[in-house]
Amino acid sequence: MKNTQTIAELLENVNTSYLTEAEKYEAIARAERAEYIVAGISSAVVAVKKAVLKLKASLVTSSAQHA
């Protein structure tokens, strides 16, 4: 099991006394946005990988039947 925290959770543990409340909220919002973008790209890569493996398996099966 992975012990992971979101960026927003990690930012809560950082000393932000020098930031205004607005700056803190902006940093958290940007961090969450970055997480969603990375998660979306990761999901797309996994989907493409699955499609390529499925296509490869179908091509190998069909070429083996003709041999």
Instruction: Give the tens place of pLDDT for each residue, 13-24.
Output: 888 889 899 998
Instruction: Give the tens place of pLDDT for each residue, 41-64.
Output: 999 999 999 999 999 888 886 555
Q: What angle do CA 50, 60, 56 make, to 5 degrees?
A: 20
pLDDT value at residue 63: 55
Cβ atoms of 33 and 6 closer than 8 Å: no
Mean pLDDT value across residues 3-22:
83
Torsion of the alpha carbons at 19, 25, 31 and 33, rounded to the nearest 10 = -150
